[in-house]
Amino acid sequence: MATDPQPEQEQPDVADLSYEEARQELIELVARLEGGQARLEESMRLWERGEALAAHCEAWLDKAEASLGSEATSDEG
């Protein structure tokens, strides 16, 4: 049976990543998936990681939007 050409690297927990780190990893991950060179099993792992990264980025953006909204409200008062 063929093995992956690249060994599985320990990935940091998505929750520990900054927005910028998560976004950069997501960009790289999408490029790998679009390249079409990953085996099915690896593609599934990448997809799942990508979903987690996207959700993490969205949560960061939601927090930033809420923070800006609350600052605008307090400035009006």
4 within a domain of the structure (yes/no): no
User: Contact 26/51 with Cβ under 8 angstroms?
Assistant: no
Alpha-carbon 8 to chain mean position: 17
Rounded CA separation 18/38 (Å): 26
Comparison of pLDDT for 73 and 16, the residue scoring more: 16
CB 33 within 8 A of CB 50: yes
Considering only CA atoms, which of 18, 24, 10, 9 is closest in space to residue 61?
A: 18
Residue 54 covered by a domain:
yes
**Is a pLDDT exceeding 70 seen at residue 8?**
no
**Residue 41, in any domain of the structure:** yes
Within-domain flag for 8: no
> pTM of the prediction?
0.77
pLDDT tens sequence across 13-50: 999 999 999 999 999 999 999 999 999 999 999 999 99
Output 7 or 53, whichever has higher pLDDT.
Answer: 53
In a domain, 6, yes or no: no
User: Residue 77 — pLDDT band, cuts 50, 70, 90?
Assistant: low
Q: How many domains does the chain have?
A: 1
User: Domain range spanning residue 26?
Assistant: 18-76
Phi-psi region of 36 (alpha: psi -120 to 50; beta: other; left: phi over 0): left
